[in-house]
Structure 1
């Protein structure tokens, strides 16, 4: 009896974390600590001065600190369990789960903020405009510093280089079902597919918080100089709407990743390179994200006899977003 073949050369890790994972984790943790400190001071000042806009900014900053804390924990969890075999495609989507959770919390807070501001319109309170303005300006400064820290590790959707992974390609020892990781080393075309939703969520949250601070400052200055007390709660409503819009955007994008929604643009690219020569047809195609800059694909093609799965994989080599590919070849009669 022939001994079973050695599969060691064909095994591989399923680690699909972004190249900047550890750097993003450090930046997020630093911003979370900075924000938590400022949040305590801003909420205390809001209660002391009676400013609804300042309180709205403070409570938004509280959720911001919580969201950043969730993001930092998600980075740590994804790193610690990156090699855990229980995760079929690794922990690359843990950040999307964290982003969805923080977006859901922010949506609730936005509703509460807007509701409380409406109440203040009907039942105004005295506001210490001078003290509240100083605290709001300080809060805006913290927001800008935080945006700078997070922006340094945020790609903003621009193109970037992918480095090839160290592990070797592998294939099942079956003539019609092959499975491997193709890797190329060239620039991302347009950068449309790479996105760390965990870092993106934290970054957009900081920008939204900065906008809320600006609205609070405008309301407080107008209230102190012009006596427009009504503008303070109005800005609270506007801030709530801004936060709700941001929360919806992040919830929509992260849920599509969590539900393995097909990347239409990438699927079209795969179809073009596979069917381009005109000798095969794709019978079934699944393309979904498994990490910030990694996608998986299952491709079933109908091909003439003699055309192998290796040939199909060779056609997919330029599509460097695909890091985990399963190819099935069915031969037409």
Structure 2
């Protein structure tokens, strides 16, 4: 049997999402964020602003997230052909995002605890100086968000099917969860910077110094909400959640168009952010080759690795 024939029956195991443009953008944002973080933390300590300090620590969580993002991309690319990984390294970026979420929870708790201590023991705040640094931080976040706004991983215009709870929705870009996590981190940081500015302005103009630690608490809560969402989404992938019931029903319906074909076993799990592998067991009175049933599933673009077992059943049964 020649190699060309064998390749016809082999399926790809490359589920890595990677783009050089995405990586370059994250490196730029990482450097900008590091410089701004140092300035905000130093200014927050020097000028006594908890809101500014909270924003600086919030930026540090994004630095860690960006570092994890960059490491995950590199590791996934280097190891994607390693046979140790059954379905390549598509889940490396998902594990990285999950780890980032855990770190965010720890930092958020630290921020809330520190803010509460500022309610008990208030500090003097140098509003004018703190405001200058906070505005610079906000501008940096907005610039970073613009840099990360576009996900260049989808430039191949590959069709992917998004298995959402409201049914099937086809779109032209394959989502890079690592890149999306970096982008949402920046957006969350911009929101925290805005909260810091609001706290400093109300403290300066209205004398509401309590707003500064209050915004520290708000910033911590924002991070907790984001972390919970990130952990929830990534843990579903890491724990091999199946397709939605709606999509599963459509797949089964497609395979059972012929009344002689019945699906008796169905397992689907994510092998990366958007890609699924499936194992399907069929019984049939008039069995066809597995390739026949795989062709029926061509419209389900999220199914990237399909294994079908066909069991014949005699008419007498």
Q: Same fold (TM over 0.5)?
A: yes
Q: Secondary structure of 1:36's match?
A: helix
**Are the aligned partners of 1:159 and 1:190 in contact in 2 as well (CA < 8 Å)?**
no
Shift of 1:280: 1.6
Alignment of 1:127-142 (within 5 A): 127-142=125-140
Shift of 1:87: 0.8
Question: What is the rounded CA distance, in whole Å, between the counterparts of 2:37 and 2:276 in structure 1?
Answer: 38
1:195 to 153, 175, 191: 175
Q: Gaps (5+ residues) in structure 2? A: 161-167
Question: What is the rounded CA distance, in whole Å, between the counterparts of 1:248 and 1:193 in structure 2?
Answer: 25
**Are the aligned partners of 1:154 and 1:199 in contact in 2 as well (CA < 8 Å)?**
no
* 1:215 is the counterpart of 2:215: no
The equivalent residue for 1:98 is 96
Question: What is the rounded CA distance, in whole Å, between the counterparts of 2:212 and 2:289 in structure 1?
Answer: 68
The equivalent residue for 1:303 is 284
The equivalent residue for 2:158 is 162
Question: What are the Cα deviations for residues 255-302 of structure 1, in whole angstroms up to 9, with x where unaligned?
Answer: 111111102144233223212343322111111221233221111111
The equivalent residue for 2:272 is 291
The equivalent residue for 1:61 is 59
CA-atom RMSD in angstroms? 2.4
Question: What are the Cα deviations for residues 194-249 of structure 1, in whole angstroms up to 9, with x where unaligned?
Answer: 53221221111111111100000000001011110000000111111110000000
More helix by share: 2
Which fold has the larger relative contact order, with Cα–Cα distance below 8 Å and residues 6 or more apart in sequence? 1
Question: What is the rounded CA distance, in whole Å, between the counterparts of 2:60 and 2:282 in structure 1?
Answer: 52
Q: Secondary structure of 2:21's match?
A: helix
* 1:16 is the counterpart of 2:12: no
1:242 to 222, 226, 240: 222
The equivalent residue for 1:319 is 300
**Are the aligned partners of 2:54 and 2:216 in contact in 1 as well (CA < 8 Å)?**
yes
Aligned residues: 304
Question: What is the rounded CA distance, in whole Å, between the counterparts of 2:186 and 2:230 in structure 1?
Answer: 13
Shift of 1:12: 5.2
Question: What is the rounded CA distance, in whole Å, between the counterparts of 2:6 and 2:48 in structure 1?
Answer: 67
Shift of 1:13: 4.6
Instruction: Give the TM-score normalised by structure 1.
Output: 0.85
2:144 to 121, 146, 159: 146
**Are the aligned partners of 1:303 and 1:329 in contact in 2 as well (CA < 8 Å)?**
yes
